[in-house]
Amino acid sequence: MSEADQRMRIGELSARTGVSIRSLRYYEQRGLLTSTRTTGAQRLYPEDAVDRVRMLRRLFDAGLSSETIAALLPCVDTPSDDITVETLEVMRRERERIDAQISALLTTRDHLDALMAGAADHLARQRDDALAATA
């Protein structure tokens, strides 16, 4: 099997990752993902592009920008001579930002739990009152 036969087209990568073709093209435009081209200019991606796209999606979902992700990729693509003190600092800042988001989400969840408990108590009192009125 030739190397080209082991590669997938953009539609297959999209189907396997759940990421739109438009997004995959954007990732490539921003230097986050690479492909080779057929003689007909169709994009071909290696098998490991599936994991790469899933990782990119997780980073985007966590709120990282494409510029920040591009700055972090040398750490993903190790060994790399492009890892710098600044790269490490970007990762630290992003981790702190994500930790703050997690803390805020936990607080919101706790408030929601309290609201749910109050609503459940209210419904139980209404049910008890309705039963007492019919007795």
pLDDT score of 105: 96
pLDDT score of 1: 46
The predicted model scores a pTM of 0.73
What pLDDT digit, counting tens, does each position of 23-52 carry?
999 999 999 999 999 889 899 999 999 999
**SS3 per-residue string spanning the chain:** CCCHHHCEEHHHHHHHHCCCHHHHHHHHHCCCCCCEECCCCCEEECCCHHHHHHHHHHHHHCCCCHHHHHHHHHHHCCCCCCCCHHHHHHHHHHHHHHHHHHHHHHHHHHHHHHHHHHHHHHHHHHHHHHHHHHC
